[in-house]
């Protein structure tokens, strides 16, 4: 193949070729980088922390300022109990992207794990200043206040162990945390691109697509329907609407049952909600994925999964998409993550064909 010699091409054509190649390469690069971010997120979700960190570091060697990958790295280090390194990652994110609330929140989680409640309080207040409607930070701040109050009441009892008021208040706080995991919530979803423009990723849940009928050309006048025609149309439409409603109810019932089996650590029941041709994250085989899920669920002492604000989109009679906020609490981790389940109907049962985290 001959090498292009721009000196032999007139200036306008050369400029056009240069711009086209630049745009093409930029688009390819952006898509590749997005794929790498998604791959690291999948590895993290699968518990392959070493490999996830290795890929994150390789990516950041090329794109050291990328906020999403830096956020993923902070989550990985947190899961690996490398608290000091994770604090450095989230601290640098708050300096470079002060309008993102999630790094402040996770910084507070790490400070709280070290008993540095004053620093945790300051980080959460910063998160709330950037996005006053960030509910996770508000809830975590309440927990921090309770922790600080517990310390104060404990100190009061050390000075006067007959202080009945302090004893009662301390007992109330202990009861509060006994009914929960006692850990403040980590933001597990990486900041979205929209968050860089000042919109919190925690507040930008995708809306369920609405089916619309495309209309072309001017609207033609339609003759007024007779009462009998209106009745016939209504009778025809009603069963279709009822069928859609029944399918939606059936899908959400399945999703709630899936979350219940997961919460009860009933692994066989949990796995039964997945289709035989389930597309495991990262292209893993069904066997490898199942083994990973059995190990992770079995390792947890307790699990609580809640489905919040589910949105159902019926694609056709046998395909549906469910998007919701997944609240996951275990003895080791707390997270609120956006999740989408791609469902297929096999026989008379809806099964999970694919799942996505963060969208």
Q: Which fold has domain 1-95?
A: 1.25.40
* Integer Cα distance of 186 and 71 in angstroms: 12
Question: 321 CB contacts (<8 Å, ≥6 apart)?
Answer: 208, 209, 312, 313, 315, 340, 341, 342, 343
* Integer Cα distance of 173 and 161 in angstroms: 17
Phi first, then psi, for residue 52 (nearest 5°) are: -60, -45
Nearest Cα to 327, choosing from 307, 298, 301, 355?
307
**Is the model more confident about 166 or about 85?**
85
Question: In the predicted model, what is the mean pLDDT of residues 140-149?
Answer: 80
**Is the model more confident about 162 or about 263?**
263
User: What tokens does 35 get?
Assistant: 């794929």
Place of tokens 């000091």: 84
* Integer Cα distance of 42 and 143 in angstroms: 30
pLDDT of 197 higher than 50: no
- On whether the CB atoms of residues 6 and 14 are closer than 8 A, the answer is yes
* Integer Cα distance of 52 and 190 in angstroms: 14
**CA dihedral angle for residue 332, residue 341, residue 282, residue 35, rounded to 10 degrees:** -100
Task: Read off the pLDDT of residues 226-282 as tens digits, 9 standing for 90 and up.
Answer: 555 555 555 544 555 455 566 788 888 999 999 999 999 999 999 999 998 898 877
Phi first, then psi, for residue 325 (nearest 5°) are: -95, 120
Q: What is the pLDDT of residue 34?
A: 60
Q: What is the pLDDT of residue 346?
A: 86
User: Identical fold at 1-95 and 97-200?
Assistant: yes
Q: How far is CA 152 from CA 14, 149, 155, in A?
A: 73, 5, 5
Task: Read off the pLDDT of residues 305-339 as tens digits, 9 standing for 90 and up.
Answer: 888 888 888 888 889 999 998 888 888 777 788 88
- On whether the CB atoms of residues 205 and 135 are closer than 8 A, the answer is no
Question: In the predicted model, what is the mean pLDDT of residues 79-106?
Answer: 90
Beta strands in the chain (DSSP E): 186-187, 303-316, 319-330, 334-346, 349-357
Place of tokens 């997005």: 34
pLDDT of 185 higher than 80: no
User: What tokens does 100 get?
Assistant: 């993102």
Pick the CATH number of 239-357 from 1.10.3720.10, 3.40.50.2300, 3.40.50.460, 3.10.450.50: 3.10.450.50
46-50, 172-176, 180-184, 271-275, range with greatest mean pLDDT:
271-275
pLDDT interval class at 3 (50, 70, 90): very low
pLDDT interval class at 36 (50, 70, 90): confident
Number of helices (H), then strands (E), in the chain: 11, 5
Q: What is the pLDDT of residue 55?
A: 92
Q: What is the pLDDT of residue 329?
A: 85
Q: Which fold has domain 97-200?
A: 1.25.40
Place of tokens 């794109």: 63
* Integer Cα distance of 138 and 273 in angstroms: 35
pLDDT interval class at 170 (50, 70, 90): low
Q: What is the pLDDT of residue 33?
A: 53
* Integer Cα distance of 4 and 219 in angstroms: 54
Average of per-residue pLDDT values in the chain: 74
- Domain segments of the chain as ranges: 1-95, 97-200, 239-357
């Amino acid at each position: 193949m001959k090498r292009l010699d721009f000196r032999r091409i007139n200036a306008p054509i050369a400029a056009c070729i240069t711009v086209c190649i630049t745009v093409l390469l930029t688009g390819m690069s952006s898509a590749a980088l997005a794929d790498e971010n998604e791959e690291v997120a999948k590895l993290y979700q699968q518990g392959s922390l070493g490999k996830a960190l290795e890929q994150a570091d390789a990516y950041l060697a090329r794109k050291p300022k990328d906020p999403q990958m830096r956020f993923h790295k902070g989550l990985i280090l947190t899961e690996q109990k490398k608290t000091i390194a994770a604090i450095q990652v989230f601290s640098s994110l708050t300096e470079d992207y002060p309008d993102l609330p999630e790094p402040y929140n996770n910084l507070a989680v790490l400070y709280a794990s070290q008993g540095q409640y004053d620093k945790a309080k300051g980080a959460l207040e910063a998160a709330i200043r950037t996005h006053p409607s960030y509910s996770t930070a508000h809830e975590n701040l309440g927990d921090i206040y309770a922790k600080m109050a517990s310390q104060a009441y404990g100190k009061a009892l050390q000075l006067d162990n007959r202080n009945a008021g302090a004893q009662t208040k301390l007992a109330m706080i202990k009861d509060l945390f006994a009914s929960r995991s006692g850990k403040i919530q980590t933001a597990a979803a990486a900041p979205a691109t929209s968050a860089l423009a000042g919109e919190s990723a925690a507040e930008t849940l995708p809306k369920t697509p609405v089916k619309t009928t495309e209309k072309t050309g001017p609207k033609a006048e339609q003759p007024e329907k007779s009462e009998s025609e209106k009745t016939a149309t209504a009778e025809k439409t009603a069963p279709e609407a009822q069928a859609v409603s029944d399918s939606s109810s059936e899908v959400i019932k399945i999703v709630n049952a899936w979350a219940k089996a997961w919460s009860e650590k009933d692994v066989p029941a949990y796995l039964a909600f997945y289709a035989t041709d389930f597309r495991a994250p990262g292209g893993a085989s069904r066997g490898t994925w199942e083994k990973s899920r059995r190990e992770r669920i079995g390792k947890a002492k307790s699990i609580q999964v809640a489905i919040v604000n589910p949105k159902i989109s019926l694609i056709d009679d046998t395909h549906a998409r469910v998007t919701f906020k997944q609240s996951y609490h275990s003895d080791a981790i707390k997270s609120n993550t956006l999740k989408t389940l791609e469902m297929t109907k096999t026989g008379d049962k809806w099964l999970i064909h694919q799942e996505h985290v963060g969208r």
